[in-house]
Amino acid sequence: MKYKHNFNPTISDENLFSEILKEKEYIGYYNLVYQDTTAFKEYAQTVKQKNIVVIGIGGSTLGTYAIYKFLKHSKSLTKQLYFLETTDPIDIKSKIEAIDLSDTLFIIISKSGTTIETISIFKYINSLIKCDKTNTLVITEFDSKLNHYAKVNEMQIFEIPKDVGGRFSVFSAVGLVPLAIVGIDIDELLSGAKEVYDGFFSIGRRQAIASDNQGTDGLPSAESVKNQGTDGLPSAESVDNQGTDGLPSAESVDNQGTDGLPSAESVENTSLYKRLLKKARFFTEYKNSFNINVVFSYSSRLEGFNKWYIQLWGESLGKVDINNTRQGLTPIGIIGPIDQHSFLQLIVEGKRDKTVTVIKVDDFDSDLEIPHAKLEGLEDLDYINGVKFSSLINKQADATILSINNLNDIPCDVITIDGVSEKAIAGLMYEYELLTSICAKFMYINAYDQPGVESGKIILKEKLQKSN
């Protein structure tokens, strides 16, 4: 009996990166890290209202809420940010009753400009208070009906680029404008996203160049041989990367530490590039075995991130591929330590169909600790006295990670973000956007459409038209 195998996917890392580079030419979210935020910040300075109400749904609100939820208790914000995103009448009424509408800026966000949920709530708000150019901002596509409405009423408008999908729009005006208004540093947000962008694409290009310098047989390619003279020594062109003394030039040393080894930044970028490709490859190669991807966030501040992740992952990756085969990875977002007492049981003893990503926060910027209090009958628990809550929650995360890893049959990885800052949350979110795009390439699907959602919208519209 003979046996051969090839478990590699049909697309290599190098080819996948090449496809991502091509995609960057027409998918706009990749390049939002380089946008000019001046107009957003200048407008934010003009807003006098204390309450900021975002009216939208899905991609128009979830990313903004994720960042605001993560940061709001660590910032001295002078304005309150609210979200009206559901047609649940009790939710609408209870939220509006808690807001002084006369001291409120309403931000209407809809990419298409005709989102039923958004326009329905906007109509209701208009029945309570006159929405005009003094208290209303519109964020939409430049040619939408909502854009036309805003122009007729002389309202401030910010554009959602055509090539940026809703669930990938958090680093566009959709997220940056409301966050800038309430006092969050949007340049720091983009800086965090850009670090991930640079880390992935700079290393990816180097890997591609290295691959190009090898022939299909692993020997140096014809192109790389051009860098040798007829005597086999480096050609004049290849010496450009050397100084006059024959040593590496200053530019080439940038990626080295003082000991001549790769710098910490270079190593970190390589790690980012490799881990994203490795993680995406694993998820897609083993999607039939581990179809459920659990994000276990050990901070209640990441509850908004979890919701955003569920939309991003589910709506992007639940598709029919080029071979007309149904694909999909199922996202679940849970919070530690709360869900240690519920969902962890399913992870540990349930069916082996789940991967687990634990997200930890290294520095909570909090000194809150368990007091040295004596409670009669509970003396056996005095060992927790003096422990900081930030330390406790991270130890709980570590205990969960170890308990999972000890089983040896549950795929698990750990992401530790530095702290509670704009750069930390933006870097995490941009990394997940990249991961989603990479997974889609491995699965041969379009990450940026949502035909399954659109069909429901059409049915709803028909039902409402018939009922009226």
C-alpha–C-alpha distance, residues 94 and 51, integer Å: 15
Contacts of 462 (CB under 8 A, 6+ apart): none
Compute the distance between CA of residue 446 and CA of residue 316 in angstroms, rounded to an integer. Answer: 7
C-alpha–C-alpha distance, residues 296 and 400, integer Å:
10
Identity of the residue numbered 402? L
Beta strands in 85-225 (DSSP E): 104-109, 136-140, 156-159
Alpha carbon distance 264, 29 (integer Å): 28
C-alpha to C-alpha distances, 359 to 22, 96, 197, 284, 415, nearest whole angstrom: 31, 34, 20, 21, 5
Answer yes or no: 457 catalytic.
yes
d(CA 129, CA 59): 26
**292-297 and 156-159 strand pairing:** unpaired
Rg (CA), the chain: 26
Report the alpha-carbon distance of residue 447 to residue 316 in Å, rounded: 4
Q: Which amino acid is at 75?
A: K
Q: How many CB atoms lie within 10 A of CB 265?
A: 15
Reduced to 3 states (helix: H, G, I; strand: E, B; else coil), residue 169 is coil
> Of these residues, 50, 75, 388, 457, which one is catalytic?
457
Which of these is catalytic: 341, 351, 372, 374? 341
* Beta carbons of 34 and 194 less than 8 angstroms apart: yes
Angle ∠(358,398,390) on CA atoms, nearest 5: 90
Is the Cβ–Cβ distance between 157 and 151 less than 8 Å? Answer: yes
AA letter at 359: I
Residue 456 CB partners (closer than 8 Å, separation 6+): none
**315 a catalytic residue:** yes
What is the separation of C-alpha 293 from the centre of its chain, rounded to a whole number of angstroms?
15
* Whole-number Å distance between alpha carbons of 68 and 70: 5
Q: Can you state the angle between helices 62-71 and 303-317, rounded to 10 degrees?
A: 160
Q: Which of 117, 303, 315, 431 is catalytic?
A: 315
Residue 16 · residue 277 · CB < 8 Å: yes
The residues carrying an active-site annotation are 315, 341, 457
